[in-house]
Amino acid sequence: MAATLGTGARAEESGQEKQDMQEKETVTPERAEEAKLKAKYPNLGQKPGGSDFLMKRLQKGQKYFDSGDYNMAKAKMKNKQLPSAGPDKNLVTGDHIPTPQDLPQRKSSLVTSKLAG
């Protein structure tokens, strides 16, 4: 907690300092945004755009479900659409066979893990 505040405060301070010495250098908008990000997520990876981020990009599409169940259900249904999980997608229970559409969107977990470092 203290560390978070400290980082934020330090970034603010150096920002102020820099703005005072305008003839020497100014904080670029990018650096200011970077300070904002680091203040919010202090554990953000040391290597921006490095291999962690690229590895996640290469792994897009990873899903886990029982393909056997899915195909059996599809065969039974034939031309009909498989019922989707309904409004609360997290509660996939009972007879409902998960379909690729029901699985939690990979995107949200990607954001969480990216920012949690």
Partner 1 sequence: FFSDIISTVEFNYSGDLLATGDKGGRVVIFQREQENKSRPHSRGEYNVYSTFQSHEPEFDYLKSLEIEEKINKIRWLPQQNAAHFLLSTNDKTIKLWKISERDKRAEGYNLKDEDGRLRDPFRITALRVPILKPMDLMVEASPRRIFANAHTYHINSISVNSDHETYLSADDLRINLWHLEITDRSFNIVDIKPANMEELTEVITAAEFHPHHCNVFVYSSSKGTIRLCDMRSSALCDRHSKFFEEPEDPSSRSFFSEIISSISDVKFSHSGRYMMTRDYLSVKVWDLNMENRPVETYQVHEYLRSKLCSLYENDCIFDKFECCWNGSDSAIMTGSYNNFFRMFDRNTRRDITLEASRESSKPRAILKPRKVCTGGKRKKDEISVDSLDFNKKILHTAWHPMENIIAVAATNNLYIFQDKIN
Alpha carbon distance 19, 84 (integer Å): 55
Among 20, 23, 30, 88, binds partner 1 (CB under 8 A): 30
Nearest to 10 by CA among 34, 35, 29, 28: 35
Judged by CB, which is closer to partner 1: 22, or 62?
62
Among 12, 17, 19, 40, binds partner 1 (CB under 8 A): 40
One-letter amino acid of 42: P
Among 2, 23, 60, 81, binds partner 1 (CB under 8 A): 60
What sign results for the dihedral spanned by CA atoms 110, 59, 42, 18? Answer: negative
Shortest approach of partner 1 to residue 50 CB, angstroms? 7
Shortest approach of partner 1 to residue 54 CB, angstroms? 5
Shortest approach of partner 1 to residue 101 CB, angstroms? 9
